[in-house]
Amino acid sequence: MSEAKATSDLDVPKHLCNAPTALMSDLGHGEGYRYAHDEVGGFAQGQTYFPEALGEQQYYVPTDRGLEIKISEKLKTLRQNK
């Protein structure tokens, strides 16, 4: 939570911004966005969601018990294919 507060002034990546007007579209809002549900396997490989200044982050680390074992395996597979 402290990192969210400390970086709250960073811009949302333009490809994640809506472009309801021609001007916003001309400024690059929404350009390059890939809807994960339209992708093979439901995963937009290489799509980034963090501000450029922050870089890619990992906030969730599954435990080694229960369903989280399967989640961990899936995340490992997805991250290997970057």
By C-alpha distance, which of 46, 10, 12, 50 is closest to 29?
12
On the CB side of 75, CA atoms within 13 Å amount to 13
What residue has token string 């395996």?
A: 73
pLDDT at residue 47 in the model: 92
Q: Compute the C-alpha angle 47/76/49, nearest 5°.
A: 20
Give residue-wise pLDDT tens across range 1-19. Answer: 888 899 999 999 999 999 9
Give residue-wise pLDDT tens across range 55-79. Answer: 889 999 999 999 999 999 999 998 8
By C-alpha distance, which of 43, 45, 18 is closest to 29?
18
Range 29-50 average pLDDT: 93
| Dist. CA 38–CA 44, nearest whole Å | 8
User: pTM for the full model?
Assistant: 0.74
